[in-house]
Amino acid sequence: MWLLKHDRPGTKYGQYTFLGILRALRMVFRNTGNLSESIEFYSTWEKKFLSKNDSAGVSVADNVLSGSYIRLGMFERGVDYQLKSIAFLNNRQEDYSWHSIAILLGVSGKVNRYAVLGAYCVKENRPAMAAGYLNEAIRYYHQLDSPLLMNDVPYLFLTMASCKMLEKNDSSSYFFEAAWNYLKKYESPPLEFAYYHQEKSTDFMNRGMFDSAMSSINRTIRLRDSLNLPLSSYIGELLPGYYKAAILLKMNRAAEAIDLLEEEIGKVRKLNLNKILVKEIQLLALAYHQSGNIGEAYRHTQEAYLLLQDIITKENENRFIGYETEKKIQENEKTILLLDAQNKSNKKIKLYLIGIVSLLGLLAAGLAIFYRNKRKTNRELSLKNERLAFTLQKLQATQTQLIQSEKMASLGELTAGIAHEIQNPLNFVNNFSELNQELATELVEEVEKGNTAIVKQIAEDIKANADKINHHGKRADGIVKGMLQHSRSSSGQKELTDINALCDEYLRLAYHGWRAKDHSFNSKFETKFDESVGKINVIPQDLGRVILNLINNAFFAVNERANTPQPPEGGVPYEPTVIVSTSLSPLSGSGVGGGVIISIRDNGTGIPKSVVEKIFQPFFTTKPTGQGTGLGLSLSYDIVKAHGGEIKVESEEGKGTVFIIELPVTN
């Protein structure tokens, strides 16, 4: 009730205090297990903030919704809400000194959100996604002016090290070293040092350095025992028994591993950490198998299997609760709209009745009363017009907010594509830099030995590697500069734009965006560009949104068809394909000048004939609930029309679709 009465704080400090209280309430829902109620509660606040154009409020609400969906086992939905939360943050440097909630807004908020996304992906064993998000967190961290977030940095680099271990990438050593330096620099608490040594022991074990691994995990055990550190905390789970047992099994010391695991499993059971318990029991079964006790190995394998089945059942129940909650929210929104319509209808009926009564009164009372009632009716009509004008204003504001949401979703897809595409040149830069470090060390040794020929050869290798670093650095710089050009806010001014380059750029970004969201996604894509198209006057940011939306729709269609069981056509397996082409043609109609045609073709699911004519209508979508706003094609239609062009669609259900954009060259 207090929140409902104070949802319009008058000052910025009041607004931040309100957001802090609203966010803190998430722990009440989590601790009581009422995650579905949490989703209903924060979804309501998200809509309130959207109606007030309060981007900070929307970001905080979406951030909490992300955590609720993750805890319900709905990983993809949780990631979507976290990306929405980031899209509503600005790039300001917030002043943390006057309010603690400021740390979750602006640039520091992006560091926090991307780091959380990376940690989610590491836990879900999705290292490619995790690396993309963690690189974004590190990039924004280096933009911070204030040192307040410095204590979070060791955990950020430690999470990246864990990610690189999952990828079996040697660069994990670099991130472990960075995390260690930050731990010492910012005098982190002992709990974080203990967690560091635990993770580092796994890195040593993976490299076959068992003595170093044992030394590292023993440090964790000493810190835990001397300071009574908790098993589960904000940084993760402290499980030195499990990690040490894994090392012991590599060293064929199964008996010691069994003792450690039996002791730690007892502690884990008391905390009801079932996912961790399954992992511990599975390792215990492996230890018994290594020791030759097949009976105990089978018993514990069976126990782990039953526990896992129970976890899967509960996660499915949670997902069902989440979907039911979303369905309930949608039904409530429909009920509100229906009641609103009924209320308006009742008001109209009331006005009609008043008019009838007034008419009867006029007939009975005479001409004088008629004129007086006429003036009264005029006043009522004026009031009604004011109400209609106010309603129209609200509808226009809602339309503006929905359009902004669609643009934010487009920006999120661009960001995911950029992060995924830029990873390749950055990997080359990292690899050749490390190689040059090794060559430099070898160079010093050969100089001391006086081997001039070898020194010269090594120097040439270093120069060649430096050239490659420079090449890939410029490649990354080009990607960033190009996308800064196309992702900045539209100025509304037309400028000469290379249409082929624009199409190629957004095709790659759309593909990498899909790969970043779903590492299992795969599709063939081709370009057929007419080089004579050249440059024409368009608003590149707006036209880019149209191209990105159509290509994303094409990838969605081929992905849907690829995930639907179907027999091969003519004995040939289905191959998802998207083709983007450009060409020149005369304009239809007057025949004056020429036109540029942009075609986006896919061999996906196609569009049913019954809905083809409706697809450019606002709020109409063929996608499942929650996967489309219904505004993408409507906005695309308006943008193309504003350029003096046309957009058409040709589709055959089950075969594919082609969208054709025709733009005038002389516009």
Q: Which 3-state string (H, E, C) describes 572-603?
A: ECCCCEEEEEEEEEECCCCCCCEEEEEEEEEC
Instruction: Say whether both 652 and 519 belong to one domain.
Output: yes
Residue 140 within a domain: no
Instruction: Say whether both 606 and 511 belong to one domain.
Output: yes
pLDDT range class, residue 102, cuts 50, 70, 90 = confident
> What do you get for the CA distance between the two ends of the chain, in Å?
57
Helix-strand-coil split of the chain, %, nearest 5: 70, 10, 20
CA distance 652 to 444: 68
Instruction: Say whether both 659 and 537 belong to one domain.
Output: yes
- Which among 483, 473, 486 is positioned nearest to 424, based on CA atoms? 473
Answer yes or no: are the C-beta atoms of 9 and 18 closer than 8 Å.
yes
Instruction: Say whether both 559 and 422 belong to one domain.
Output: no
Contacts of 271 (CB under 8 A, 6+ apart): 231, 232
Beta-carbon count within 10 A of 554 CB: 28
In the 8-state DSSP scheme, what is residue 6? Answer: T
Quick: pLDDT tens for 524-583: 999 999 999 999 999 998 898 899 999 999 999 999 999 887 766 666 889 999 999 999
437 by Cβ neighbours in 10 Å (0-12 / 13-18 / 19+) ranks as exposed
Residue 19 within a domain: no
3-state secondary structure of 664: strand
Q: Residue 263, Cα to own-chain centre: how many angstroms?
A: 40
Q: What's the one-letter identity of residue 647?
A: I
What domain range includes position 224? Answer: 189-310
pLDDT at 588: 46
pLDDT above 70 (res 126) = yes
Q: Average the pLDDT over 40-52 and give the result.
A: 89
- How many angstroms separate the most distant Cα atoms in the chain? 123
In the 8-state DSSP scheme, what is residue 239? Answer: -
SS3 string, 308-375, reads: HHHHHHHHHHHHHHHHHHHHHHHHHHHHHHHHHHHHHHHHHHHHHHHHHHHHHHHHHHCHHHHHHHHH
Report the sign of the C-alpha dihedral through residues 201, 205, 207, 212, in that order.
positive
Residue 151 within a domain: no
Residue 280: both structure tokens together: 């511990």
Domain end call among 473, 488, 503: 488
Residue 126 within a domain: no
Residue 580 within a domain: yes
Residue 337 within a domain: no
CA distance 68 to 386: 42
pLDDT above 60 (res 404) = no
pLDDT at 455: 80
Contacts of 306 (CB under 8 A, 6+ apart): none
CA distance 545 to 538: 12
Quick: pLDDT tens for 587-630: 544 444 578 999 999 999 999 988 888 888 876 566 664 455 55
CA distance 476 to 478: 5
Residue 31: both structure tokens together: 């601790």
The answer to which of 66-75, 153-162, 319-328, 469-478 has the lowest mean pLDDT is 319-328
Instruction: Say whether both 640 and 613 belong to one domain.
Output: yes
Instruction: Say whether both 507 and 598 belong to one domain.
Output: yes
pLDDT above 80 (res 67) = yes
Instruction: Say whether both 432 and 501 belong to one domain.
Output: no
Quick: pLDDT tens for 467-520: 878 776 766 665 665 555 545 555 678 899 999 999 999 999 889 888 888 888
Tokens 């007419």 correspond to 530
Instruction: Say whether both 473 and 500 belong to one domain.
Output: no
CA distance 537 to 540: 9
Average pLDDT, rounded, for the chain: 79
Residue 106: both structure tokens together: 């602006």
Instruction: Say whether both 503 and 650 belong to one domain.
Output: yes
Residue 402: both structure tokens together: 């929905």
Instruction: Say whether both 634 and 519 belong to one domain.
Output: yes
Domain end call among 488, 508, 536: 488
Instruction: Say whether both 589 and 611 belong to one domain.
Output: yes
pLDDT above 90 (res 109) = no
- H or E stretch including 653? none
Residue 380: both structure tokens together: 């009522």
pLDDT range class, residue 346, cuts 50, 70, 90 = low
Instruction: Say whether both 544 and 470 belong to one domain.
Output: no
Tokens 């090594």 correspond to 458
Residue 324 within a domain: no
In the 8-state DSSP scheme, what is residue 498? Answer: E
Residue 279 within a domain: yes
The share of the chain scoring above pLDDT 90, in percent, equals 27
Residue 403: both structure tokens together: 């359009």
Task: Give the dihedral of Cα atoms 25, 28, 34, 40; nearest 10 deg.
Answer: -10
Q: What is the CATH number of the domain that holds 583?
A: 3.30.565.10
- Provide the whole-model pTM: 0.47
Quick: pLDDT tens for 384-395: 767 766 655 665
Strand partners, 495: 538
How many domains does the chain contain in total?
3
Indicate the length of the chain as a whole number. 667
Q: What is the CATH number of the domain that holds 194?
A: 1.25.40.10
pLDDT above 70 (res 124) = yes
CA distance 47 to 40: 11
- Which among 5, 35, 6, 3 is positioned nearest to 22, based on CA atoms? 3
The answer to which of 55-69, 132-146, 324-338, 637-651 has the lowest mean pLDDT is 324-338
User: Rounded to the nearest 10 degrees, what angle do helices 540-562 and 367-449 cross at?
Assistant: 80
Strand partners, 620: none
pLDDT above 70 (res 331) = no
Residue 26, CB-side half-sphere exposure with 13 Å CA sphere: 20
pLDDT above 90 (res 445) = no
pLDDT above 60 (res 338) = no
Domain end call among 292, 310, 328: 310
pLDDT at 580: 96
Q: Average the pLDDT over 372-400 and give the result.
A: 66
CA–CA distances in Å: residue 62 to residues 23, 24, 31, 259: 10, 14, 19, 45
pLDDT at 353: 52
